[in-house]
């Protein structure tokens, strides 16, 4: 889940306005939630970044499945790309079948790099495929899973060799020899 990434990777750095559970500033969070009704409970908040720059100020809040910022919010599962420019982040989220840019201002360049890393990890985590893999291989031991992974890699390699044979880069004899060698490992 995204909550694991946030809890593990989001730093507790009060100097830069970065807070995460269980050390969220209760008074600040309470005042914020009174103004911002998009978040129903303080228990939903996993991390927050409070910032104040010369031209703007605000709070970025991360829950287990959403990111809230002064001008909007987006689902964490919709993140597809993150760009960084100085102390500004642009998070592209796949919403309504198009990439919508969400422009986030943060306190400084260091905080921007930290949040960029976190959002990148979230963007590359595919929950749906993890659930499918867990469901598919549920009940197998580690040894059995290692064998299944080896089998899958060997089959992919054989498919690649077959493509090379079809492209004329391997002759039939080379293809058959390499195929037998790979199958012999099983």
pLDDT digits (tens, 9 = 90+) for 18-59: 998 888 888 888 888 888 788 878 888 899 988 876 677 788
Question: Considering only CA atoms, which of 133, 5, 113 is closest in space to residue 65?
Answer: 5
pLDDT score recorded for residue 84: 92
Question: What is the crossing angle of helices 142-166 and 172-184, to 10°?
Answer: 180
Spatial contact of 117 and 100, defined as CB atoms under 8 Å apart: no
Whether the CB-CB separation of 9 and 121 falls below 8 Å is answered with yes
Distance CA 2, CA 64 (A): 6
Domain ranges across the chain: 2-125, 137-184
Q: What is the pLDDT of residue 134?
A: 64
Per-residue confidence band for 126, with pLDDT thresholds at 50, 70 and 90: low
pLDDT at 131: 61
Q: Which residues pair with 89 in a beta bridge?
A: 84, 104
Structure tokens that stand for 11 in this block:
């730093």
Ramachandran category for residue 124: left, alpha or beta (phi over 0 → left; psi -120 to 50 → alpha)? alpha
User: pLDDT category, 116, cuts 50, 70, 90?
Assistant: very high
Q: Are 50 and 105 in contact (CB under 8 A)?
A: no
Averaged pLDDT for residues 116-122 = 90
Q: What is the pTM of this model?
A: 0.64
In the predicted model, is pLDDT for residue 119 greater than 70? yes
Q: For residue 40, what are its two tokens?
A: 């129903």
The pLDDT tens digits of the residues spanning 65-102 come to 899 998 889 988 889 899 999 888 999 998 888 889 99
pLDDT band at 135, cuts 50/70/90?
A: low
**For 136-159, how does the pLDDT look when each residue is reduced to its tens digit (9 = 90+)?**
666 677 777 778 788 888 888 998
* CATH code at 2-125: 2.30.29.30
CB neighbourhood size of 179 (10 A): 16
Give strand pairing partners of 99.
94
Distances (CA, A) of 145 to 126, 129, 150, 152, 157: 20, 17, 9, 10, 18
Q: How confident is the model at residue 113 (pLDDT cuts 50, 70, 90)?
A: very high
């Amino acid at each position: 889940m995204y909550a694991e990434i946030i809890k593990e990777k989001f730093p507790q750095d009060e100097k830069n306005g970065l807070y995460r559970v269980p050390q969220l500033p209760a008074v600040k969070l309470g005042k914020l939630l009174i103004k911002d009704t998009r978040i129903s409970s303080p228990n939903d908040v996993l991390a927050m970044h409070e910032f104040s720059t010369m031209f703007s100020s605000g709070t970025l809040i991360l829950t287990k499945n959403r990111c809230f910022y002064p001008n909007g919010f987006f689902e964490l599962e919709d993140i597809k790309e993150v760009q960084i420019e100085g102390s500004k982040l642009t998070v592209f989220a796949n919403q309504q079948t198009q990439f919508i840019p969400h422009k986030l201002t943060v306190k400084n360049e260091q905080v921007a790099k930290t949040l960029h890393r976190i959002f990148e990890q979230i963007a590359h985590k595919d929950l749906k495929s993890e659930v499918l893999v867990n469901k598919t291989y549920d009940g197998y031991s580690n040894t059995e899973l290692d064998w299944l992974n080896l089998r899958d890699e060997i089959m992919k390699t054989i498919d690649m060799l077959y493509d090379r044979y079809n492209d004329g880069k391997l002759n039939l004899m080379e293809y058959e020899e390499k195929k037998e060698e790979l199958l012999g490992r099983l």
